[in-house]
Structure 1
Amino acid sequence: MEAGMRFLMIASFAESLIAFRGPLMEALQEKGLEMHVAAPDMPVGHSIRAALESRGVVVHHVPLERNGKNPLADARTLLALHRLMRRVRPDCVMCYTIKPVIYGMLAAWLARVPRRFALITGLGYAFGEDKGRNGLRAVVQRLYALALSRTDTTFFQNPDDEALFRRSEILPPDRRSCIVNGSGVDVASFQVAPLPDDSPRFLLIARLLGDKGVREYAEAARRIRARGARARFSLVGWIDNGPDAIAQQELDAWVADGTIDYLGRLSDVRPAIAGCNIYVLPSYGEGTPRSVLEAMAMGRPIITTDAPGCRETVVDGDNGLLVPVRSVGALEQAMMQLIEDWEKVVNMGQRSRQIAESKYDVRKVNAAMLREMGFE
């Protein structure tokens, strides 16, 4: 494939284009590609749009409801994406998160885009274990299967998700797939910060959703404080509008009783990571959790769940501890283990940085993706 081609990336959340795909776009531009992006909520003058345009990226607004279930709205998304592709005439399209993958891949196929790539960054709400989600999951699986049968390569961020898609025949046997180490982390920007040694300080960074394990984190914090342990528990994130969102009243109650130090939504999480000495993510499953990679790069031990995407980031007992999903008791025990062993905290933090450099450096991750897409 030659320079001068147009590459279109489609997202459901504008901020993710810079936060998660910025280095990948830069790598594509360095290969001589003309970079286009499409996402909702990016009118002229929007700060994210301005930041992308300053990098030489052509920005397109598309109507897309991330969490909506209105088929007419989704049909409008498909039509808008098809019209965009007929106008821009990209040589390659890459989509990530559920709706962009489904409707972006279908639109790209209808518009006869030559190369089509899907990136599965996690399973999302529809694939949760609650029986009430079974109907939604069945619909999403059928739509995924229709879309992914039109891809050249589907990228996964962990082997569990790839195995599920193969086993469930969401990804047809004749379609190529590739596992990459998450979105990677810029180890030069996320440098090692000294560990605060005055008291145990825990941190969780996440959208405030039940599936991120936020409630388990708050309950484990409450129990540890009830033991009299001199520990602090910080939370960074925001209340999402999904069906699994933490209620404002829940968050307010945690803050009011002193269980949680709520730091709000941060555009730069590095000061928050520097202010903790142990990072926690009790998620029910991820693609590969970016916040964990950032904490690892800054030299923090990790407590996370033995769940898809999460378990890949931790060698249990080496750079952190793995706990069962939804187990407040196990989470509490793991936290107490590190509260009582500062030497382990220090050693695990050093190993986290080493693993981040060797496995999750964003330059290595992007190089692997570019090779698969034919740009290396």
Structure 2
Amino acid sequence: MKIAIISHHAVSLIGFRGTFIKELVARGHQVLALAPDYKPKTREVVRGMGAETIGFNLSRTGVSPKQDLATLFELRRILRDHGPDLVLSFSTKPSIYGTLAALSAGVPRRFAMVEGLGSGFAQPGAPQSLAKRALGVVLRRMYGFALARADGTIFLNRDDYAEFAARRLVPRGRGHVLGGIGVALDQFPQSSHPTDPVVFVLIARMLREKGVGYFVEAARRIHASHPGAAEFVLVGGLDRNPTGHRRAHIREWVREGIVKWTGHVPVGPILRQSSVFVLPSFYREGVPRSTQEAMASGLPVITTDVPGCRETVDHGVNGFLVPPHDVDALTRRMRHFIENPGDISRMGSESRRLAERDFDAKLQDARLIGLLGLS
């Protein structure tokens, strides 16, 4: 069978779909990997997985009817030319435009994957500008129109599925919950982690909604109350999104001695040198890949009690859930590991156990293949 996978970002095909693509190829399927921003090295890696790489134009952020319509027509042309039997689109714009293009191109089977709802589905009580509220209305209508024409929509967590079902954005019986996409557990072996000092790490794009500012404020407070007892590391690149932290801002935190910042680097070595993983995100996630990797590496997790994030923590067992926007609670839970260093190993072992149960890429890839009717 010929299968087209449509992504919003070429690198994500490697980090988020790599094991899945390899498994499809191993089962004898032909895979077309569509993405808007291929670079020579990325193409080489994806081709090395056994997939054919195809580029297209996509504006990842913002809404431009002219650009988005051009994307829809380009995807339709590509799908008509290559004639896949099945299309799987993931992320917001590919799920909408990829599904509609596949319908128009006569692709027999069409699936979308919702990996997180973003700002179009704000948390209850969260402040939103009039423009963002209007954008949310448009986005939800487009989702409803597109997903009604998909054979199935796959969600990573139950909260997102419930939200779409309540809003009638996905037809009854055509929504499925996969859980986290999983990680290759052998690439993130469990190891011992430092306790003197305790090293707290946040791995994410440097966006405000990831809770970067709350992490920094908690670090500032802990430096004052427990000098020398902890280190704080930010890992992740800058983002052109309007909510992204600017380089100068982050460098000022570094100059103050509050945090270290690595930029975008391989995370495996960072996790092996860390003690506790922290993600104070205050918007909906799918199921954060970074948290799954941290759990596989045997790190306790502190994250927020919001959709997606809460899927990764059994409160008090492998870490702690804190309310979003609550820097006091975040600081208190981070201090817990400084004052109770034995919990780093104990809770970290529980994280690894949960990762083996819920986030093994081999098991999750097999589940996804089953949901697509390819098993």
Do Structure 1 and Structure 2 share a fold, with TM-score over 0.5? Answer: yes
Residue 30 of structure 2 corresponds to residue 34 of structure 1: yes
Which segment drifts farther, 156-165 or 336-345? 336-345
Match of 2:353 in 1: 354
Match of 1:131 in 2: 128
Q: 1:31 touches 1:375 (CA, 8 Å); kept in 2?
A: no
Whole-Å Cα distance in 1 between the matches of residues 246 and 187 of structure 2?
Answer: 33
SS at match of 2:107: coil
Match of 2:208 among 199, 202, 210: 210
Whole-Å Cα distance in 1 between the matches of residues 255 and 135 of structure 2?
Answer: 36
Q: 2:90 touches 2:113 (CA, 8 Å); kept in 1?
A: yes
Q: Once the two structures are superposed, what CA deviation does each residue of 1:62-101 show, in whole Å capped at 9, x if it has no partner?
A: 0001013211111110010000000000000001110110
SS at match of 1:264: coil
Q: What amino acid sits opposite 2:211 in the alignment? A: G
Residue 74 of structure 2 corresponds to residue 104 of structure 1: no
Match of 1:24 in 2: 20
Count of residues in correspondence between the two structures: 368
Whole-Å Cα distance in 2 between the matches of residues 216 and 202 of structure 1?
Answer: 13
Match of 2:175 in 1: 177
RMSD over aligned Cα atoms = 1.1
Residue 142 of structure 2 corresponds to residue 143 of structure 1: yes
Which segment drifts farther, 315-324 or 234-243? 234-243
Q: 2:298 touches 2:351 (CA, 8 Å); kept in 1?
A: yes
Whole-Å Cα distance in 1 between the matches of residues 243 and 7 of structure 2?
Answer: 21
Match of 1:368 in 2: 367
Report the alpha carbon displacement of residue 249 of structure 1 after superposing the two structures with TM.
Answer: 2.8
Match of 2:339 in 1: 340
SS at match of 2:262: strand
Match of 2:42 in 1: 48
SS at match of 1:131: coil
Report the alpha carbon displacement of residue 228 of structure 1 after superposing the two structures with TM.
Answer: 3.2
Whole-Å Cα distance in 2 between the matches of residues 213 and 159 of structure 1?
Answer: 22
Q: What amino acid sits opposite 1:142 in the alignment? A: R
Structure 2: give runs of 5+ residues left out of the alignment: none
Whole-Å Cα distance in 1 between the matches of residues 352 and 243 of structure 2?
Answer: 33
Runs of 4 or more above 3 Å deviation: none
Q: TM-score, normalised by structure 2?
A: 0.96
Match of 2:319 in 1: 320
Which segment drifts farther, 245-254 or 351-360? 245-254
Match of 2:55 in 1: 61
Q: TM-score, normalised by structure 1?
A: 0.96
Structure 1: give runs of 5+ residues left out of the alignment: none
Q: 2:285 touches 2:308 (CA, 8 Å); kept in 1?
A: yes
Whole-Å Cα distance in 1 between the matches of residues 38 and 186 of structure 2?
Answer: 29
Report the alpha carbon displacement of residue 125 of structure 1 after superposing the two structures with TM.
Answer: 2.9
Q: What amino acid sits opposite 1:169 in the alignment? A: R
Match of 2:223 in 1: 225
Match of 1:92 among 82, 86, 96: 86
Whole-Å Cα distance in 1 between the matches of residues 342 and 298 of structure 2?
Answer: 14
Match of 2:6 among 10, 33, 41: 10
Whole-Å Cα distance in 1 between the matches of residues 342 and 49 of structure 2?
Answer: 44
SS at match of 1:150: coil
Whole-Å Cα distance in 1 between the matches of residues 252 and 323 of structure 2?
Answer: 26
Report the alpha carbon displacement of residue 205 of structure 1 after superposing the two structures with TM.
Answer: 0.3
Whole-Å Cα distance in 2 between the matches of residues 20 and 365 of structure 1?
Answer: 12
SS at match of 2:76: helix
Q: 1:67 touches 1:241 (CA, 8 Å); kept in 2?
A: no
Report the alpha carbon displacement of residue 239 of structure 1 after superposing the two structures with TM.
Answer: 1.2
SS at match of 1:75: helix
Whole-Å Cα distance in 2 between the matches of residues 247 and 156 of structure 1?
Answer: 32
